[in-house]
Structure 1
Amino acid sequence: MFSVEQLHAFVATVDSGSFSAAARQLAKAQSVISQHIINLEIDCNATLFERTGRYPQLTQAGHKLLPHAQALLNQHQRLLNSALALNDSTPSEVTIALDEGIPFSAMASVVEELNNAYPNVTLEFLSASSLDVIDLLKQETPLTGIIFSELNLPTNLDYECIGSVNFDLYVAKSHPLAKQAVKNIDSLRLYRQLLIRSRNTQTSSFQLKVSPDVLFADNYYLLLQLTLQGHGWCLLPEHVAHEALQANELVRLPIEFEKMQWHANVDILQHQKYSDLAIFKTLRKLLRNIL
C-alpha cells in the first residue's frame, strides 16, 4: 500500500512541475522522488505522469488521484499538529499580527482580558498587510493573524470570520476626479490608481488593479497620504479615511453608481500547530466580539 512519503513526492511534483524541483522542495535526492512515484504507480496500478516531454504531465489517472492525495496529506499534517498540542504547552510569548486597515482600538478589551487570563504570557503586536501576515503564519510561529479575507489560504491555517470593515473610493479634494461624476468603474482606468500590496509584491484578492497606471504601498496609511497629495484614487477603509474626510481634505469619489461601498470580511488566522491550544482558543473567543 502507498505511503505518506509517496504522496508527498507525487503532490510536490505536481506543485513544482518536475521531479528535480520536487526533490529540492522536499530536500531529497531526485532518485528518491522518482522511486516514490514509481512505487505509487505500482501500488495504484496506473501511470500517473506522462514522461515523454521535458516535464512530467499528469495523466487522467493522476488528475483523479491528486485531490485525494492532497486531502490525505492535509489531514496527516493536522494529525501531527494535534499530536504536538496534546500537552497544551502554552507558549511564553504570543504575537498578534493585525492588518493596519483593521481598527486597533477594538483590541483594548482583548488585551486586558488575555493578560488577566494568562499573566505570564508576553504579548507582541505587529502591523502588516494581510498577505504579509499570511506569510508570517507559514513560518509556524505562535501567532494569531487578523486580516482581510483572502480567497486562497494555505491548508495548514485555521480561520474564522469575525465581522467586516467598510471600504469606499476616495480622492483628494484637489484631484480632477473630485469635480466630476464618474459614470462607471471603467472610467477610472484613465487615472492613476493607488493600490495595496505585500512586501513580496503580492496583491490582495479584493484589491483589484483597474488602471494601467499604479502606485503601490504596503499599508493603508501610506495610501491615504499619497491620496491626499493628489497622486491618484484609492480604495480605503472608512475609518482610515474618516479624519481627512471630516477635514474636507478628502472626498468620496463622485460616481453615478452611488452604492459602491465594499464590505471586506475580517478573518482570524492561526496555524494548526497552535490553534488547539487553550490560549489560542481563548484569543479566538475574545476576538469574535471586536467588530
Structure 2
Amino acid sequence: MYNLEQLRMFVETAHLGSFSACARKLGKVQSAVSQGIANLEIDLDSRLFDRRTRKPSLTPAGERLLSYAQAILLQMDELDSAVKAMGRQEETLIRLAVDNALLLPNLYIVLSRFESQFPATDIEVVSTTSFDVLEALENDQADIGLTFVEFDFNREVELGYIGSLIFYPVCHPDHPLAQFSEITAGDLLPHRQIMSRSLKGSMPTQLPKMSSKAWYCNSYTAMQLLAEQGVGWCYLPDYLVEQAIQAENLKKMKFSFDHKPWKLSIELVRQKNKALGPALTWLHDELKELLDE
C-alpha cells in the first residue's frame, strides 16, 4: 500500500522536473526517490512518469492522479497543523462581533495575518450595531468585539479605548439640504434622517436624532445606499463615503453647529474575566492598534 512519503516524492518530482532535484529537496539519495516512485506506480497500477527522455514527464495517468496526491498531502499538513495547535492550546473558533461601521480595510489585513498565524483556528465575523455587539458578548455569543462608546452601557464586559472615527453628514447632491451653504438645526427638522438602530431599538448616543422624520437601519452600507437614492440625510464614516463624494453620488453637508468633524470614540471589548488563549490574545493585541496611523 502506498504511503505519504511516496506521494510526496511523486508531487515533488512532478513539480521540480527531476528525481535528483526531488531527492535534494527531501534529503534523500536519488535511488531512494526512484525506487519510491516505482513502488507507488506498482501500488497504483499506473505508470506516473515517462522515463524515455532525460527529464521525466508526467503520463496522462500521472497528470490525472497528481491533483489527488496534492490534496492528500495538503489535508495531512492541515491535520498536522491542527494537532500542533491543540498542543499549544489554541482555540478552535474565535467569534468576532463588529459594529458594521467598523469594517475598516485594516481589519481585513489583521484577519489575513491571523489566518497565517493560526491556520487551524476558525473565525466567525458578525457585523451588526454596537448595542448588538455588546449583547452578544454578554450572552456568550461573541468572544471579542469592536464598538462605538456607549456611555449608558454599564454591563459585564471589559472595555478599552483604541481611537476614533470621523463621521460626515451627507445627502444626495439633488436633496434640498444640499442647496444650503450652511445648515442650522432648524433646517434639518423637516427632512428625513437615516439612522442606525439595533434590533431592540437602541440608537447611538453620539449620533442623536435631529429631524422630525426618520428611517432606521442596522447597516451603514444600507444607510449610504438610501442616502444616494435621495431618501434622506445621515452621518456616515469618512472611509465609507469618500469615493461616493468624489463621484458626486453624495455631498458633504456643512452644519453651523459642527465646528469640527464629528469623531466617534471606538472601544475594543471582550468578555470580562474570561481567559484568553494564544489566538485570542494575538487578535486582541492586533486590534488594539487597528486605528494607529
The TM-score by the shorter chain falls in which range? Answer: 0.5 to 0.7
Structure 2 residue aligned with 1:204: 204
Contact 2:136/2:142, CA 8 A, preserved across alignment: no
Structure 1 residue aligned with 2:249: 249
Structure 2 residue aligned with 1:128: 128
Q: Provide the aligned C-alpha RMSD in A.
A: 2.1
- Structure 2: give runs of 5+ residues left out of the alignment: 1-87
Distance (Å, rounded) in 2 between the aligned partners of 1:112 and 1:171? 34
Distance (Å, rounded) in 2 between the aligned partners of 1:225 and 1:99? 18
**Pairwise mapping of residues 134-173 of structure 1 onto structure 2 (< 5 A)?**
134-173=134-173
Structure 2 residue aligned with 1:231: 231
Distance (Å, rounded) in 2 between the aligned partners of 1:208 and 1:123? 33
Structure 2 residue aligned with 1:285: 285
Helix, strand or coil for the counterpart of 2:274? helix
Report deviation, 1:158: 0.7
Q: Is it true that 1:111 corresponds to 2:131 in the alignment?
A: no
Helix, strand or coil for the counterpart of 1:264? strand
Report deviation, 1:109: 3.3
Report deviation, 1:251: 0.6
Contact 1:158/1:275, CA 8 A, preserved across alignment: no
Distance (Å, rounded) in 2 between the aligned partners of 1:279 and 1:286? 11
Distance (Å, rounded) in 2 between the aligned partners of 1:98 and 1:137? 11
Contact 1:145/1:270, CA 8 A, preserved across alignment: yes
Distance of aligned partners of 1:163 and 1:134 in 2 relative to their CA distance in 1, 3 Å threshold: same
Distance (Å, rounded) in 2 between the aligned partners of 1:138 and 1:125? 17
Structure 2 residue aligned with 1:45: none
Contact 2:97/2:142, CA 8 A, preserved across alignment: no
The amino acid across from 1:228 in the alignment is E
Report deviation, 1:254: 3.2
Structure 1 residue aligned with 2:94: 94
Helix, strand or coil for the counterpart of 1:232? coil
Distance (Å, rounded) in 2 between the aligned partners of 1:148 and 1:175? 29
Structure 2 residue aligned with 1:61: none
Distance (Å, rounded) in 2 between the aligned partners of 1:284 and 1:184? 42
Structure 2 residue aligned with 1:221: 221
Report deviation, 1:260: 4.3
Structure 2 residue aligned with 1:180: 180
Contact 1:166/1:261, CA 8 A, preserved across alignment: yes
Report deviation, 1:275: 5.1
Report deviation, 1:183: 4.3
Q: Percent identity?
A: 23
Distance (Å, rounded) in 2 between the aligned partners of 1:181 and 1:257? 13
Contact 2:165/2:265, CA 8 A, preserved across alignment: yes
The amino acid across from 2:209 in the alignment is K
Contact 1:177/1:254, CA 8 A, preserved across alignment: no
Deviations 1:229-263 (A, max 9, x none): 11111111111111210111211113345634111
Report deviation, 1:146: 0.9
- Structure 1: give runs of 5+ residues left out of the alignment: 1-87
The amino acid across from 1:125 in the alignment is V
Contact 1:170/1:235, CA 8 A, preserved across alignment: yes
Deviations 1:261-285 (A, max 9, x none): 1111111111124354443332221
Distance (Å, rounded) in 1 between the aligned partners of 2:204 and 2:90? 33
Contact 1:275/1:281, CA 8 A, preserved across alignment: no
**Pairwise mapping of residues 51-62 of structure 1 onto structure 2 (< 5 A)?**
none
Provide runs of 4+ in structure 1 moved above 6 Å.
Answer: none
Helix, strand or coil for the counterpart of 2:268? strand
**Pairwise mapping of residues 14-33 of structure 1 onto structure 2 (< 5 A)?**
none
Distance of aligned partners of 1:142 and 1:169 in 2 relative to their CA distance in 1, 3 Å threshold: closer
Rg larger in structure: 2
TM-score normalised by the chain length of structure 2: 0.64
Distance of aligned partners of 1:229 and 1:260 in 2 relative to their CA distance in 1, 3 Å threshold: farther
Report deviation, 1:174: 0.6
Distance (Å, rounded) in 1 between the aligned partners of 2:258 and 2:193? 19
Report deviation, 1:112: 3.4
The amino acid across from 2:254 in the alignment is P
Structure 2 residue aligned with 1:79: none
The more displaced of 276-285 and 153-162 is 276-285
Distance (Å, rounded) in 2 between the aligned partners of 1:234 and 1:260? 17
Distance (Å, rounded) in 1 between the aligned partners of 2:194 and 2:182? 17
